[in-house]
Structure 1
Amino acid sequence: MRPRTRKTLRDRVEAAIARRGDDVFLTREFARLGGEDQIIRALRELVREGRLVRLGYGVYARAERSRLSGRPVLTARDGFAGASREALTKLGVDWQPTEAERAYNEGRSTQVPANAVVRVKGRFARRLGYGGNSLVVERRT
Structure 2
Amino acid sequence: MTIQDRIKTRVKRSKRSVFLRSDFKDIADYDQVGRGLRSLAREGVLMKIGYGLYARARVNRITGKLMPDNAAGADGVLIEAMERLDVGYKFDDLSNMNFLGQSTQIPASVKIVPTDPRFTRKISVGKQRVNEAR
Corresponding position of 1:25: 19
Q: What's the CA shift for 1:89?
A: 0.5
Of the candidates 112, 126, 134, which is equivalent to residue 131 of structure 1? 126
Please provide the CA RMSD for this pair.
1.7
2:63 is equivalent to residue 79 of structure 1: no
Q: What's the CA shift for 1:116?
A: 3.5
2:22 is equivalent to residue 34 of structure 1: no
Corresponding position of 1:45: 39
Percent identical pairs in the alignment equals 33
Corresponding position of 1:4: none
Normalised by the length of structure 1, the TM-score is: 0.83
Corresponding position of 2:6: 12
Cα deviation 1:61-91 (Å, max 9, x = unaligned): 1111233444322111111111011001001
Normalised by the length of structure 2, the TM-score is: 0.87
What secondary structure sits across from 2:37 in the alignment? helix
Cα deviation 1:34-85 (Å, max 9, x = unaligned): 1111111111111111111111111111111233444322111111111011
**What is the rounded CA distance, in whole Å, between the counterparts of 1:97 and 1:134 in structure 2?**
12
Q: 1:87 to 1:111 in 2, by over 3 A?
A: same
What secondary structure sits across from 1:53 in the alignment? strand
On the 8 A contact 2:4/2:36 being kept in 1, the answer is: yes
Q: Give structure 2 stretches of 5+ with no counterpart.
A: none
**What is the rounded CA distance, in whole Å, between the counterparts of 2:39 and 2:104 in structure 1?**
43
Corresponding position of 2:61: 67
**What is the rounded CA distance, in whole Å, between the counterparts of 2:125 and 2:90 in structure 1?**
21
**What is the rounded CA distance, in whole Å, between the counterparts of 2:98 and 2:63 in structure 1?**
33
Q: What's the CA shift for 1:117?
A: 1.5
Corresponding position of 2:92: 98
Structure 1 segments (4+ residues) deviating >4 Å: none
What secondary structure sits across from 2:122 in the alignment? coil
What secondary structure sits across from 1:84 in the alignment? helix
Q: What's the CA shift for 1:121?
A: 2.2
Cα deviation 1:66-123 (Å, max 9, x = unaligned): 3344432211111111101100100110123333222102221122122331232222
